Amino acid sequence: MLNDRAKQILLKGRKATKEEIKYAKSVGYWSDNEILTHDDGMILLNNIIPTLSKEKLVDNFLYSLSTRNLVYRSGLSAYANSFNMPVHGFPLTKNHICCEICLDHSYATERSINDIRIHMFALGGL
CA distances from 67 to 1, 31, 60, 116, 121 (A): 14, 27, 10, 21, 13
Position 13 in a domain = no
CB 70 within 8 A of CB 121: yes
Range of the domain at 96: 33-112
> How confident is the model over 7-49, as pLDDT tens digits?
888 888 888 899 998 999 898 888 887 788 888 888 988 898 9
User: 3-state DSSP call for residue 49?
Assistant: helix
Cβ atoms of 117 and 24 within 8 Å: the answer is no
56-102 tens-digit pLDDT:
999 999 999 999 888 788 889 889 988 888 888 887 766 777 888 88
Q: Is 25 part of a structural domain of the chain?
A: no
Count of structural domains, the chain: 1
Residue 69 falls within a domain, yes or no? yes
Rounded Cα gap, residues 74 and 94, in angstroms = 34
Are the CB atoms for 7 and 114 separated by under 8 Å?
A: no
In a domain, 1, yes or no: no
51 lies in some domain:
yes
